[in-house]
Amino acid sequence: MLDYLHLSKEFFRVVVILILAWLLIVLSRKLIRLFRNYMNTRADTAEETRRIETLARVFRHTSIVAISLVAGMLALSELGISIAPILGAAGVVGIAVGFGAQSLIKDFFNGFFMLLENQIRQGDVVEVCGKTGTVEDITLRYVSLRDYEGSVHYIPNGLITTVTNKSRGYAYAVIDVSVSYRENINEVCDVMREVAGQLRASESFGHRILEDIEIAGVQEWADSAVILRCRFKTVALEQWDVRREFLHRLKDAFDARGIEIPYPHLTIYAGQDKQGNAPAFRLTKPEDASHT
Range(s) for CATH 1.10.287.1260 in the chain? 2-100
Task: Write the pLDDT tens digit of every residue in 130-161.
Answer: 899 998 887 778 888 999 898 999 999 888 88
pTM, full prediction: 0.61
pLDDT digits (tens, 9 = 90+) for 88-100: 555 555 554 455 5
Reported confidence tier of residue 239, pLDDT bands at 50, 70, 90: very high
What is the pLDDT at residue 28? 87
Q: With b meaning 16 or more CB within 10 Å and e meaning fewer, what string describes 254-264?
A: beeeebeebee
In the chain, helix, strand, coil percent, each to 5?
A: 55, 20, 30
Distances (CA, A) of 42 to 36, 84, 124, 167: 10, 47, 20, 21
Q: Considering the domain 119-165, what is its CATH architecture?
A: Roll (2.30)
Average pLDDT, the chain: 81
Q: Give the total residue count for the chain.
A: 292
Topology classification of domain 170-257: Alpha-Beta Plaits (3.30.70)
Q: CATH 3.30.70.100 occupies which residues in the chain? A: 170-257
- Of the two residues 85 and 62, the one the predictor is more confident about is 62
Q: Which of 187, 170, 171 is nearest to 179 (CA)?
A: 187
When pLDDT is averaged across residues 269-279 and rounded to a whole number, the result is 69
Is pLDDT at 178 greater than 80 in this prediction?
yes
CATH number attached to the domain at 2-100: 1.10.287.1260
- Decide which of 72 and 239 is more confident: 239
